[in-house]
Amino acid sequence: MQVAVNEAIKAGERDSVPVGAVIVFENKIIASAGNEVLKNHDATAHAEILAIRGACNVLQTTVLNECDMYVTLEPCAMCAQAISLARIRRLYFGAYDEKYGGVMHGAHVFRYALHKPEIIGGVSETQCADILKDFFEQKR
């Protein structure tokens, strides 16, 4: 999760919402990314989507069923469904997101998805939440 946290911090430094994600395969990090929505002019460039695309590319597959994801924030509905489509095995996330989250909140995507990963929320929660809180406080 610390690598994901570092990706989040880097995303904040380039003025994107500070969220970071990492994908692990056989105890090695094979993809990591921070949110690049604004940097890339791409509404879909959430950290999780970029990490999934990276991991699919590294393993040359669309099925990441032996991979785990670490992400600093509860994924939105787009990312939750992407995690399901990619058949990620375990999802570890940091802060809960009551407003935009699609895992424990809102659309509760995994209730309806064909593949549901094992889910562990609240990992390094305070640290992950503080990065977001500090970012939005500085924006005011």
66 is catalytic: no
Binding mask 7-36 for its own copies (x = CB under 8 A): ------------------------------
Which of the ranges 7-15, 19-27, 98-106, 130-138 carries the binding residues for its own copies, by CB under 8 A? Answer: 98-106
Give the active site residue among 7, 13, 26, 48: 48
114 is an interface residue for its own copies by CB under 8 A = yes
> Is 91 near its own copies (CB under 8 A)?
no
| C-alpha span between 139 and 134 (Å, rounded) | 9
- Identify the CA nearest to 55 among candidates 32, 36, 71, 26: 32
Judged by CB under 8 A, does residue 112 bind its own copies? yes
- Of 6-14, 17-25, 102-110, 118-126, the window that binds its own copies (rule: CB under 8 A) is 102-110
β strands within 41-124, DSSP E = 67-73, 90-95, 118-120
**DSSP SS3 for 18:** coil
Residues 6+ apart with CB under 8 A from 75: 46, 48, 83, 91, 93, 101, 102, 103
Q: Parallel, antiparallel, or unpaired for β 28-34 and 90-95?
A: unpaired
Is 8 or 109 the residue whose CB approaches its own copies more closely?
109
Residue 136 interacts with its own copies (CB under 8 A): yes or no = no
Hey, CA dihedral for 50, 45, 41, 1, is it positive or negative?
A: negative
44 sits near its own copies (criterion: CB under 8 A):
yes
Residue (of 27, 90, 31) closest to 56 by Cα position = 31
**Looking at the annotation, which residues are catalytic?**
48
Task: List residues near its own copies by CB under 8 A.
Answer: 37-38, 40-44, 49, 52-53, 56-57, 59-64, 76-82, 85-87, 100, 102, 105-109, 111-114
